[in-house]
Amino acid sequence: MDDLKKPILPGKGKSDYERYLHTDDLLSLQKSPQEFLHPDELTFQVIHQSSELLLKAVAWELGRACALIEEGDFANVGRLMRRANQMLEYPISMLHVLETISPYDYHLIRAGLGHGSGLDSPGFLALLHIGPRLGEAFHTQLEKAGVEVDDVYRRHEELFGLHDVAERMLDFDERVHLFRFHHLKLAQRIIGGGVIGTMGTPVEVLHQRMEHLFYKDLWDVRNQITAGANAALEKSRMESGY
């Protein structure tokens, strides 16, 4: 019988666990304690690196979901988008960990960032790339089915596949918005709302970027539905004399 403790995978590491996860490489991607500008720097780096990993996986799953929307396989789109949205919860909640860094301590760390800016985050840029592609694929399917966004909500039981995709897209849009909101609060809390970032971009710009939504039509349809319901209510009140 094989010795189950002996590694059988290729690569570095004493065990298959270490080899498969590349833990040697992964755990050497942070500065050493001798290099830290402040002891909080490990937390700062680990939170950022973990966020990048998660955002990479979110974008990957959304890319798979996009291909499935194009194929009209809505059941599996829902499954992958639920996964992606669940993963996106973590980069949002991890921002709160960084709120425990005190402003004076952060400035010691910040001095070592060069021109590093979240505007160059590969993970977040990947989300900004996949977001509109999901929207285009969804609208192509609406055209194919000969329906409009309002129909998806009015006839949601009949059109449950498209309805599920629309709602998962809304979940995604909401989470990107929440990421931006909590990140803005973090920046305001640590460096202040009225200062210039490392690339010369004011924190106020983060405020402006929060206005951005991928699927404005999915948000706006709610207004139309409510306006229609209010008008119907008003009409029935007028007719019944109340």
- Contacting ligand HEM within 1-40 (CB under 6 A): none
Identify the CA nearest to 225 among candidates 135, 147, 152, 142.
152
Q: Give the one residue of 31, 155, 209, 235 binding ligand HEM; rule: CB under 6 A.
A: 209
Q: Give the one residue of 37, 42, 203, 213 binding ligand HEM; rule: CB under 6 A.
A: 203
Site string for ligand HEM, 97-116 (x = CB under 6 A): -x-------x----------
Structure tokens at 218: 């999915």
Identify the CA nearest to 99 among candidates 190, 175, 194, 191.
190
Identify the CA nearest to 146 among candidates 135, 136, 133, 159.
159
Nearest distance in Å: CB 208, ligand HEM: 9
CB atoms near residue 116 (< 10 Å): 13
Structure tokens at 181: 């909101």
198 is an interface residue for ligand HEM by CB under 6 A: yes
Return the number of the residue (18 or 173) whose C-beta is nearest ligand HEM: 173
93 is an interface residue for ligand HEM by CB under 6 A: no
Q: Give the one residue of 21, 37, 42, 47 binding ligand HEM; rule: CB under 6 A.
A: 47
141 is an interface residue for ligand HEM by CB under 6 A: no
Q: Give me the phi and psi of 201, to 5 degrees please.
A: -95, 125
Handedness of CA 46, 49, 52, 56 (dihedral sign): negative
Residues that bind ligand HEM (CB under 6 A): 47-48, 51, 91, 95, 98, 106, 117-119, 121, 124, 180, 183, 186-187, 190-191, 197-199, 201, 203, 206, 209
